[in-house]
């Protein structure tokens, strides 16, 4: 067992068991004679709630993490290749992908007995957003050893300092193979240049550079047009993203309200069941009490009759005494 293996095992437990499991792993390493490893294991930090939830997805529902990572690869490829239409379409789909992944994390955390708070849910979303925007962040969320949430806008690299426990060179590489960025303008210029040099027209100057200059100019115009379209798409995306954030915040609150009401409903059902059991017990007690009361009433009547008879006998005896005296 090395530090990476120990961390992989440690970060797959629920939060309430983290400290005990860390101590057990450190003790195991120490018993094996590796004091340095035991010390390193003892220094592994407890993950934040959002990081833990993402680690659980990596362990139990890797298809969710894979979906986030693959979507991010497509989104970055469209941006790098200057494909404005694809970038716009993917931007419109991104919020749906994020919401689905966040809900999966919330559901799994609840199933494992450690529900996420609204703040932790927002941190999960921010981390997945960073993973879609940055290849390094995408690699981090797939490790299953995430320690803290990530944050990134897509315009600069995500800070991964201390984000992954027992991190190594393999954890810093982007998962999968990133598409090679080849802007369309460059491809157009190359193909146009080849076509022009291969079939010069009669009106072309004798110089061999003229067709290449024409192709380059055409490529530049195409590139400028594509960049303008990309800028417009980014502007639309940022506006839509802002609206989506507001909508998702409302959805998150609604989600939390549903969970709160569901918990309350479950508690009420439990209280009702307890009340039913208590009512059944009281009804049984009432039936027993009624029987006892009926028995007592019957005994009372018998006792009253006996007392009446005895009183009559006593009165008769007294009258006899009076006559004889």
Does the pTM surpass 0.95? The reply is no
Domain assignments of the chain as residue spans, ordered by start: 47-172, 184-197+209-269
Find the length of the chain: 325
Measured distance CA(209)–CA(85) in Å, rounded? 34
Residue 84 in tokens: 């404005």
Q: Say if residues 130 and 150 touch (Cβ distance below 8 Å).
A: yes
Q: Is 90 exceeded by the pLDDT of residue 303? A: no
Q: Say if residues 121 and 102 touch (Cβ distance below 8 Å).
A: yes
Measured distance CA(182)–CA(179) in Å, rounded? 9
Measured distance CA(268)–CA(72) in Å, rounded? 44
| pLDDT on residue 220 | 59
Measured distance CA(146)–CA(172) in Å, rounded? 13
Q: Say if residues 171 and 140 touch (Cβ distance below 8 Å).
A: yes
Q: How confident is the model at residue 153 (pLDDT cuts 50, 70, 90)?
A: low
Nearest to 173 by CA among 202, 139, 141, 131: 139
Measured distance CA(133)–CA(149) in Å, rounded? 14
- Residue that the structure tokens 């450690």 belong to: 114
**What does DSSP assign to residue 83?**
-
Q: How confident is the model at residue 229 (pLDDT cuts 50, 70, 90)?
A: low
Q: How confident is the model at residue 322 (pLDDT cuts 50, 70, 90)?
A: confident
Measured distance CA(152)–CA(127) in Å, rounded? 8
| pLDDT on residue 74 | 93
Tell me the pLDDT of the chain averaged across its residues: 81
Q: Which helix (H) or strand (E) is 184 found in, with range?
A: helix 184-198
What is the Cα Rg of the chain in Å? 40
**What does DSSP assign to residue 164?**
B
Q: Is 70 exceeded by the pLDDT of residue 135? A: yes
Percent of the chain clearing pLDDT 70 (strictly above): 80
Measured distance CA(134)–CA(257) in Å, rounded? 33
Q: Is 50 exceeded by the pLDDT of residue 201? A: no
Q: Please, is 150 exposed, middle or buried when counting C-beta atoms within 10 Å of its C-beta (0-12, 13-18, 19+)?
A: buried
- Residue that the structure tokens 């609604």 belong to: 254
Residue 72 in tokens: 């991010």
| pLDDT on residue 262 | 75
Q: How confident is the model at residue 98 (pLDDT cuts 50, 70, 90)?
A: very high
Q: Is 90 exceeded by the pLDDT of residue 21? A: yes
| pLDDT on residue 221 | 57
Q: Say if residues 29 and 38 touch (Cβ distance below 8 Å).
A: yes
């Amino acid at each position: 067992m090395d530090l990476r293996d120990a961390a992989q095992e440690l970060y797959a437990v629920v939060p309430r068991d983290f400290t005990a499991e860390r101590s057990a792993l450190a003790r195991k390493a120490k018993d094996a004679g590796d004091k340095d490893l035991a010390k390193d294991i003892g220094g592994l930090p407890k993950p934040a709630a959002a990081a833990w939830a993402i680690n659980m997805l990596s362990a139990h529902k890797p298809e969710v993490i894979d979906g986030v990572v693959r979507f991010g690869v497509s989104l970055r490829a469209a941006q790098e290749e200057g494909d404005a239409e694809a970038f716009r379409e993917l931007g419109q789909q991104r919020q749906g992908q994020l919401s689905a992944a966040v809900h999966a994390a919330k559901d799994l955390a609840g199933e494992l007995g450690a529900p996420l708070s609204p703040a932790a849910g927002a941190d999960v979303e921010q981390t997945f957003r960073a993973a879609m925007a940055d290849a390094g962040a995408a690699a981090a969320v797939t490790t299953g050893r995430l320690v803290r949430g990530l944050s990134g806008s897509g315009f600069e690299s995500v800070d991964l300092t201390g984000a992954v426990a027992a991190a190594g060179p393999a954890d810093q590489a982007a998962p999968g193979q990133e598409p090679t960025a080849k802007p369309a303008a460059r491809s157009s210029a190359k193909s146009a240049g080849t076509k022009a040099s291969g079939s010069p027209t009669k009106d072309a100057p004798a110089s061999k550079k003229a067709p290449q200059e024409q192709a380059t100019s055409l490529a530049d115009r195409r590139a400028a047009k594509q960049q303008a379209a990309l800028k417009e798409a980014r502007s639309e995306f940022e506006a839509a993203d802002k609206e989506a954030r507001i909508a998702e915040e409302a959805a998150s609150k609604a989600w939390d309200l549903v969970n709160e009401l569901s918990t309350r409903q479950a508690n009420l059902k439990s209280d009702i069941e307890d009340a039913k059991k208590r009512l059944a017990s009281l009804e049984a007690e009432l039936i027993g009490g009624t029987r006892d009361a009926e028995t007592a009433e019957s005994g009372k009547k018998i006792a009253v009759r006996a007392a009446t008879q005895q009183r009559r006998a006593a009165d008769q005896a007294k009258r006899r005494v009076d006559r004889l005296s």
